[in-house]
């Protein structure tokens, strides 16, 4: 068996497999689509949930210092004014002066071999002029302007400035607004964290690269509250936890990179930020971020809402507003990394196959059960029996009696099913089944009794 998985996994192959096999479909496809939106099919939703549940288990359930919340997506507009999103959650936008297509200026630079990191909007425009960079359609580009990425909506029946709200562009603010509730209800010792998973929305100027840059996506975020004098140890510990999670996703360590964000690129309130990048098929790009946000967010609430955000150390009079370390994961980017890491093309007995080598705990289907022949009632009856046993135990078990066994194996390989169980005539004699391993394709005989 030769393994070509390490070499240049083509993005198109993954996108096509994701659609063909029911993982991810373009959003609103029957109506011609809606750019930047994606729908998860039966296998995709399970894969995504497996990733999210693993995260929740590792970062919340298995720990004593984490509290979960699930805040509303719509929040009071003051949240986004105070956080700075209304004024500064912007990307630089440039326009093709002939056909008026719009692009992110930093993306245009990147696509033309210029590193936009640390450049102001004026400097980006300067680089475009200096290098003679044109739009992808070959036309001159306009000077850049800022574009706010929040989706605006109105709450209630009145459409005025007081009814304005936004689809949240990050889940973090729903955590900060509940910090005081959690402290008052649970009085956790510092350091402690509040975790949230859920949808976030950004009106990206140019969504691209499959689900990597979407307009609607999910985040998994933690705000970890610390004593300011001890932030470094929590930062290091969380960085270690992040790597443990990525390892549990089955991402090869040599494709995961830490990028220490420089002073010029970091948000003004952050004292340290590490972007974790991954070697996606589209190149090395941000998978998640880990930021020390100081007391910026809680102080914003304290100053704007007029509510005290101080924490009192138990049994003392020592009070302060805690500082915050934020690991911020994007679910879509995790899904994309898992798909890319699992995607493998190899050869079995001279025949090419595509196999998704998901770690077993992430695989959307754990077992596939088939009768060797579907027109033999005694085989089908026995296979249904085995199917029920496995279904009760593992939940995600598939019944497949279409086509011949070879075709079923190919199909299961493409969706990453770790075990295929076949019931044949011998089963009727010895009450044993054949289990075929996805990765090695080895077949072993085990008794039905042992499957229970
Ligand atoms: P980028 O620079 O790639 O736009 P960002 O630095 O703006 O990302 P953050 O605001 O730090 O991203 O958001 C935290 C995480 O949310 C990111 O690391 C990423 O995993 C995810 N994320 C952000 N924007 C998107 C998007 N448009 N589509 C999918 N995931 C996203």
CATH fold of 3-89+149-339, please?
BirA Bifunctional Protein; domain 2 (3.30.930)
Q: Is the pLDDT of residue 53 over 50?
A: yes
- pLDDT tens per residue, range 93-111: 999 999 999 999 999 999 9
Quickly count: other Cβ atoms within 10 Å of residue 268's Cβ.
8
- pLDDT tens per residue, range 250-271: 999 999 999 999 988 888 889 9
> In the prediction, which pLDDT does 319 show?
95
The pLDDT mean for the chain works out to 94
Ligand 1 mean position to 243 CA, how many Å? 18
Under CATH, to which class is 91-147 assigned?
alpha beta
Q: Are 321 and 309 in contact (CB under 8 A)?
A: yes
Backbone φ and ψ of 43, nearest 5°: -80, -35
Q: Which residues 6+ apart lie within 8 Å of 252 measured at CB?
A: 341
Ligand 1 mean position to 25 CA, how many Å? 21
The bridge status of strand 419-423 relative to strand 432-437 is: antiparallel
> Per CATH, is 365-451 categorized as 3.40.50.800?
yes
CA proximity to 297, closest of 194, 217, 219, 214: 194
> In the prediction, which pLDDT does 350 show?
87
Q: Show the tokens assigned to 174.
A: 């729903």
> In the prediction, which pLDDT does 2 show?
37
Burial 71-110 (b: 16+ CB within 10 A, else e): beeebebebbebbebbeebebbbbbbeeeeeebbbbbbbe
Q: Are 99 and 137 in contact (CB under 8 A)?
A: yes
Question: Tokens 């009760």 — which residue?
Answer: 392
Q: Whose CA is nearest to atom 2 of ligand 1?
A: 286
E-strand spans in 96-162?
Answer: 102-104, 145-148, 151-154
Ligand 1 mean position to 215 CA, how many Å? 10
Query: In 132-206, which ranges are continuous DSSP H helix?
Result: 172-176, 179-186
Whole-angstrom distance, CA of residue 366 vs CA of residue 136 = 44
Q: Whose CA is nearest to atom 16 of ligand 1?
A: 330
Q: Are 436 and 419 in contact (CB under 8 A)?
A: yes
Ligand 1 mean position to 381 CA, how many Å? 50
- pLDDT tens per residue, range 166-193: 999 999 999 999 999 999 999 999 999 9
- pLDDT tens per residue, range 109-135: 999 999 998 899 999 999 999 999 999
Q: Are 88 and 129 in contact (CB under 8 A)?
A: no
Question: Tokens 């493998």 — which residue?
Answer: 344
Confidence of residue 9 (pLDDT cuts 50, 70, 90): low
Mutation pick for ligand 1 pocket among 116, 118, 171, 286 (CB with most ligand atoms within 8 Å) = 286
Length of the chain in terms of residues written: 452
State pTM to two decimals: 0.94
Q: Hey, is 211 helix, strand or coil?
A: helix
Q: Whose CA is nearest to atom 11 of ligand 1?
A: 289
**Which residues are near ligand 1 (CB < 6 Å)?**
202, 204, 213-214, 217, 219, 286, 288-289, 328-330, 332-333
- Residue-range domain boundaries for the chain: 3-89+149-339, 91-147, 365-451
Q: Hey, is 190 helix, strand or coil?
A: coil
Q: Which residues 6+ apart lie within 8 Å of 199 measured at CB?
A: 73, 168, 216, 217, 218, 219
3-89+149-339 with 365-451: one CATH topology?
Answer: no
């Amino acid at each position: 068996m030769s393994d070509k998985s390490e070499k240049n996994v083509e993005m198109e192959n993954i996108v096509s497999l994701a659609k063909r096999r029911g993982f991810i479909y373009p959003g609103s496809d029957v109506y011609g689509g809606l750019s930047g939106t994606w729908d998860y099919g039966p296998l995709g939703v399970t894969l995504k949930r497996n990733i999210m549940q693993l995260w929740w288990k590792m970062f919340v359930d298995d720990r004593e210092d984490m509290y979960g919340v699930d805040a509303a997506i719509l929040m009071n507009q003051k949240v986004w004014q105070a956080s700075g999103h209304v004024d500064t959650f912007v990307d630089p936008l440039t326009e093709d002066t002939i056909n008026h297509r719009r692009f992110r200026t930093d993306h245009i630079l990147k696509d033309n071999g210029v590193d936009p990191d640390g450049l102001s909007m004026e400097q980006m425009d300067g680089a475009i002029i200096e290098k003679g960079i044109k739009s992808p359609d070959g036309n001159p580009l306009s000077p850049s302007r800022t574009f706010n990425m929040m989706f605006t909506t109105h709450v209630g029946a009145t459409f005025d400035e007081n009814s304005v709200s936004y689809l949240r562009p990050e889940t973090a603010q729903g955590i900060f607004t509940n910090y005081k509730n959690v402290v008052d209800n649970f009085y956790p010792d510092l350091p402690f964290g509040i975790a949230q998973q859920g949808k976030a929305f950004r009106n990206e100027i140019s969504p691209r690269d499959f689900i990597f840059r979407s307009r609607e996506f999910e985040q998994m975020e933690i705000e970890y509250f610390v004593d300011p004098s001890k932030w470094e140890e929590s930062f290091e510990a969380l960085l270690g936890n992040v790597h443990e999670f990525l390892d549990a996703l089955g991402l090869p360590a040599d494709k995961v990179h830490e990028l220490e964000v420089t002073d010029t690129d970091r948000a003004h309130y952050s004292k340290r930020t590490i972007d974790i990048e991954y070697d996606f098929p589209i190149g090395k790009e941000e998978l998640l971020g880990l930021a020390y946000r100081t007391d910026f967010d809680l102080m914003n609430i304290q100053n704007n809402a007029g509510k005290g955000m101080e924490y009192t150390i138990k049994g003392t009079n020592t009070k302060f507003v805690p500082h915050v370390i934020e690991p911020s994961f994007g679910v879509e980017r995790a899904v994309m990394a898992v798909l890319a890491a699992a995607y493998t093309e190899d050869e079995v007995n001279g025949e090419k196959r595509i196999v998704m080598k998901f770690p077993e705990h992430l695989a959307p289907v754990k077992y596939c059960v088939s009768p060797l022949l579907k027109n033999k009632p005694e085989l089908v009856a026995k296979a249904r029996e085995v199917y029920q046993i496995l279904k009760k135990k593992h939940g995600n078990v598939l019944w497949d009696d279409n086509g011949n066994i070879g075709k079923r194996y190919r199909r299961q390989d493409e969706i990453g099913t770790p075990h295929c169980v076949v019931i044949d005539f011998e089963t009727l004699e010895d009450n044993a089944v054949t289990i075929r391993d996805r990765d090695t394709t080895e077949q072993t005989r085990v008794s039905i009794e042992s499957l229970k």
